[in-house]
Each structure stands twice: as C-alpha cells, then as structure tokens.
Structure 1
Amino acid sequence: MKLPKIDGERLWSAHMAMAQVGRIEGDGVCRLAASDEDRAGRDLFARWCEEAGLSVRIDGIGNMFARRPARDDTLAPVLIGSHLDSQPTGGRFDGAFGVLSGLEIVRTLNDAAIETEAPIEIVNWTNEEGCRFQPSSLGAEVAAGHIALEQGLAAEDENGITLGVELDRIGYRGDSGIALNARAYLEGHIEQGPILEENGEDVSIVQGSMGVNAYSVTLMGVEAHTGTTPVTRRKDALYAAARCITEVRALAEEFEPDGRATVARLLVEPNARSVVASKVVFTTDCRHRSPASLDEMSRRLRQIVDRVSAECGLGYTMTPYWTVPPRNFDADCVGALEAAASAMGLRHRRMVSGAGHDAIPVSAVVPTAMIFVPSRGGVSHHVSEYTAPEHLEAGCNVLFQAAVRLAGIADAGGQRA
C-alpha cells in the first residue's frame, strides 16, 4: 500500500501554535517542567489528541500517552514522541518536533482512514530538559525503571519544591502504571548541531548515543581581602576553578572528535567585590561513544580536580549526579528509518547523539531509534533556534513511513497487509 504524505503546513501550524505557549522575546519559549506554561502546553496537546479521537492517559510521573486504537488493540503499541518542556530561554522546535510529529502522523492516518495492525501512541515525556528538576529525561528514566517513582517525584527544584507537588498542582500527576510496554519507540528531534546543514543533508538516522558521566564539584578555600592578601598566601577557589576549566577544555580537545568534556555551570561564594572566593561549585561532564574511553576521560577528570585542589591548598568534593552508559539503538528500528529516508530520496547519514534524549533511557527496555533534522547554524537551547518547514516535513514523513511499517497495516478483511 502506498502511504500518503503528511501535511507539512498543518505540522508547521501546530509548531507555531505551541510556540505561543510560554512565548518569550526573540521567538523563544519558556515552558519549564511542571510550570503553569508546561500545563498550558500539555492542555493544548491533550485537546488536539482528543479531537483526533485519541484516548489520553497520564502515568504516575506525568508522562502523557495518547493512543490511537488498532485492529488488534491487545498488541503492544508503537510509541512516537519526545517532550514539550523547554529551557528557560529555549527554542520553538527542541522536543516539540517529536511530539507534534506524532500528532501529525495520527492526523494523516485518520485523514486516509488507515487502520494499523498495532496501536500507535504519542508520548510527551516529563522533565526531559532537567533544568528545573534533576536528572534530565526524568520521566523517561522512571518509565524505563532506572529511577524509582518515589525518587522521581521527590526531585526538588532550586526553591525546594518537589516535582510531585508541582505535578499535583498543575493536574498532571496521573495514576496509570509506569511500566513501558511497546514494540518500538521512534523519536524525532532537531539536530542541535551544524553537521546536517553544513553537508546539505535532510535527515540523520541516529544509531546510538554517547555515554555520559556528570559530576558536581565543590572547591573549598578561604575568604580573604583582595587588596591585602598576597597572591601566594591565598586559597582561592575561583582561581582553582579557572584552572580546572582550562584543563577540562584541553581534555575535551584531546578526545575529539568522538569525546566531549565540559564545565557548564559555576556558583561562586561569597561572590563579592574585593573578596577572594572561598567556595566554588561547578558541574562538569565527559561523554564518549566508547565505554573504555569514557572511563579514561572520567579518571582523568577526577585527576584534574584532585591535583589542582592540592596545588591550590583547597579541599574538594566530587559527586556524580548523572551516569548514562553508551547506548546502541535497535537495528530494526534504525533500518526502518533508513529505508524510509532512502525511499523518499532524502540525503541522509548515520549519526551518534552527543546530547541526552528520552530515547536513550527508553532504548534500554524498548527497541528504539531516532532521527535528527537540521538546525540552522547548529543553534539550540536559544531563542533563535530554527528548523525550516521543509525539514520538519521531511523528518515527519520518515517517522510516518517507519512507524506504519513497524505497526503494520490491516486490510479491509482484518489481515495484516
């Protein structure tokens, strides 16, 4: 059976409508997890799903599942989705593309009156960004069984408010089971990097992800007057942090192109003029596709902090807060996406994800694959983030073809076609 194409204009309109929820200056959005803006985005998504004839359920960590029934509704569904929460100054397409692609796929199936053999479900995962509650992809991690539900609900933001309390407040703490039961999970996402655009390619088929080891480091020195204390007598936590940052950057360069190492967040105390910093907290992570190389980078990272602290006369703590092993995505799901891109004549490549996505924890328990579509200038997590309508449309068509292939089509006699 020749499948129709998705409606690219309708897909773009859905993105522009969702972008009005939590809109901020510069065409960006702010929909922090479990915020009022997140509730508004969820409400809009739920209304669209119900209008499309889908049943919506919410699990115990707030993940939303919108189900399109099938000829054999007892079969495990094909999941399609991503997330609707954003960074504080996020863009219009990060996360939303995966969720809204799922919606457009269902709308296209409805328009063509196509019945699938197995159900299709659209999923909106809770707290993918991890900027309000840690860790990232918290909803998917709980659903995959990597984090206990109680632990996930107890995650606190910087004001000490728990995710569970906020989900209750916005009305999105559900009571359905959290165990994942699916035959496949497909996720569409913007690339958040420059490779596709620079090479003039339409889509990438993501075959797996880098592993991540992330740490919170606290350097402990002594406050002193910047005008009266000789430099050689200081225990300057900020100076030590600067040295760590420089050496982490050198470590990253040594392991390019397959590795990453970064210091991304810095808190300084007392953060006062004329006072030598007595305490600095920073986050750092290393990433690599190879487990052995990831272990080596992590060992070197700890050596940097230990040596610099000793040379600067400081105490320190280094605590892991996020650990994800390298993942390989399912060969059949990768093949379905690749076959769809080839059949449509799209310029495509295989790629490994350096960023975290909901697909990564899900892939441990459900056959999974992803696609990326180009990001203009490689920009993401910024108000200027942009992906052209034609690239969204092409990516959604790849997801559509692969999802239907994995779910199967029932003919008029109820047999799989």
Structure 2
Amino acid sequence: MPKRIAWEVRAEAYRLLALGVSAVEVGRRLRVNDVTVWSWAKVGMRQKRGAPGGAVPVAMDVVVAGSAGRSYRRLTLADRAVIQAGRAMSPPLSVRAIARMVGMSASTVSRELRRNAVQHWGQDRYSAHLAHHRALLRRSRPTPRRLEDPALRGEVVSRLNLRFSPQQVSGQLRVEFPDDEGMRVSHETIYQALYLQGRGALRHELTVQKALRSGRTGRIPRSKLPARSNRPWLDGARLTDRPAEVAERAVPGHWEGDLVVGPANSGIVTLVERQTRFVLLGRLPGARDSATVIDVLQTMISHLPAELTRTITWDQGQEMAGHARFTIATGCPVFFCDPHSPWQRGSNENTNGLIRDFYPKGTNFNTITDTDLAETQRLLNIRPRQTLGFHTPAATLDQLLNRVALTP
C-alpha cells in the first residue's frame, strides 16, 4: 500500500511549484519522491521537463482583470488563500461565510471550489496556489481563431459575397459539410470577425459594399396608434376572415404582398410565399394607383398553378382598394392585416428589408431594368433560410411544383 501523504504536504508542494521551484527540489524539501510531485502537478499545472523541471512559473502576484464594463472583480491569490484556510478548518466554514470574508458572492466561491477541486485520498481538496496558477494560465492562453483556416474562411467569404447573412452562412455550411467538423462556424464568430476582431479583417475580403444588410441596434416597437377607419374595401376581407390554414403555413399557395416605393412615383410589387419564402418581384410602370398595381400583380401570378395561388395577405394601403377585381380575374382572394401591424405579414417585411439591401431608399425604380430586377429575385431565392433547414426557397418551391405535377 502506498505511503499516505497528508494534504498539507501536497498543498505546500503546489505553493513551491507555483513559485518556480523544481520538482526535484520540492521532493527534497518535503521528503517526497519527485515522481510523486510530478504526478501532483499533472492536475492542471503547465510543466517543464529537465533537471530543473517542474511547473512553468507564472507571476503569482498578478491580479486577473475583469472584463471591460463589468463591475465585478476576479479572485486574487489572497482571496484564494482565505478560501483554502476556511475549508481547512474543523469543521470547515460554509461557502456563504467564506464569501462574506472575501467580499464575493456565494456563487463565485462555490464555482471556484467546484472548478479547482482536487481528489486526495477520495476527498475533494482545494489549493489556493494551484487554483491561482490555473486561473493565470487560462487568461494567458491564446484564443484560437476559427476563421484562420483558409478553406473555411473562403467558404464564408464566398457566401457573404452572395449577400447571405452570418446565420445563413453558418447553417448552410452544416448542411453542405455534415461530416466535416472543420467546416463549422457559428454565426456569432462571423459577426465578430466582421466587426469585433481586428485581426479578422473579414470585411476587407468582401466584394459587396455592405457586410450586413441592417444597421439596427434594437427592435422597433409595435405602433400604439389608433386603428384606421373609413376603408370600405376592407369589409369581409380582414385578417379575421382569412382561412385558419394560412396562419399555420402547412399548405402552400398563401402569399404576403406589399410595395417597395421610390421617387418619381416609382416602385416594385413584392410577393412572398409563406411556406417556401419564394419571392416574386414586379416593377410598376411609373404609377402606383390601384388599377396599375392590380394589373402588375395579376401578371406576376399568372404563370403559377391554382394550387399555389390560394390567398394574398396585404397591408391596408390604398393601392389594393380595387382588390375585388383582382379576385374575380384570378380566383385568389386578398385579405388585409390589422392597422399598424406589420408583424402579421412578417415574411414580406423581412423580404422588403432584403430588397432595400439591393436598392437603398431613394432608388428610382424607373431606372432599374427588368433584367436587374430578375437577377435580384434570383439572388433572393437562392439564399438559404433557417426556417427551411437552410435550404433555399427556389429548391423548396421546385419540390412543391414537382409534387403538384405528379398529382393525378
């Protein structure tokens, strides 16, 4: 049976090792085999080999700084010495009593004891010098840069250049490289590489003008304005009159629509299919009256099968005042959201934000060619979407159309 060594001897060994004393010298002073000292140091101390070998010395008087902007302080070596002394008493002091002595919260002390517990003859023990040595090593260890890998970085940059959001980039990489852990990166890491990490410099490798489409720092609160009135075309076509299946997004063919407008009476009609998020864009010919909007809208959906033109949800704008004529011509009813409630057609609102990334406010849509608008529609429909499992709206709609064609 091995010789039973007291915890106090082992704790003293940690103190000496942390001060840079070699393992051989520690063993000589404490009359312990140096191999045993080496085994003790393996619980978290960075070791060096050779005749003067032992723990790599660190400046034990260093105070580990807290994060910028935080009010709390980190534990010092003196704090940890109080914790060690309190736990070594008979009976040991409680966590709360020690916390009051060091001026920290009880959860901080409890977490410190759990993190730095050392098994000694079947019991959890705590060494102040070992714990402080570990803490200093953690703070000095360089943080690996995930995007320093050239292959991963290239995949991320190429998708950002297609105007994918960081979340869409992260999700599509998981889909396309399911068995390659090296091709995984979180969207937060991409955000930090774009804005927070000076070494990342990811923005300088992009060919697009903006790395992200929105500069918002917070959510826009819902409007508290009173409801609009005197809109007779809303009768029988309010959201409460819409079929219940629309809200569940389980059946395809339900769309959300709106206008994106510019100067000189210009604008485009935007339609988003609620289940697949497929986008249709139609340019207005220099007018935004109801008759013109309805004509453009009717042309946009004319090539779709009846199974994919069930309903359209719109806001309460004047441009759809003649929606009854559209419904008679196409068989597709139009329903209107509650006033000041854009979240009721959230897919379309999000799409309009994406469109503004291509055409900022102030863009005269009369100068945009149909070819340019078709390319914008294509780029929007090949963006992977989180709600689609990071598949694209185009691929999802193709699957729906194939099923419709195969149905007898």
Normalised by the length of structure 2, the TM-score is 0.20
Higher relative contact order (CA 8 A, sep 6+): 1
Q: Which structure has the larger Rg?
A: 2
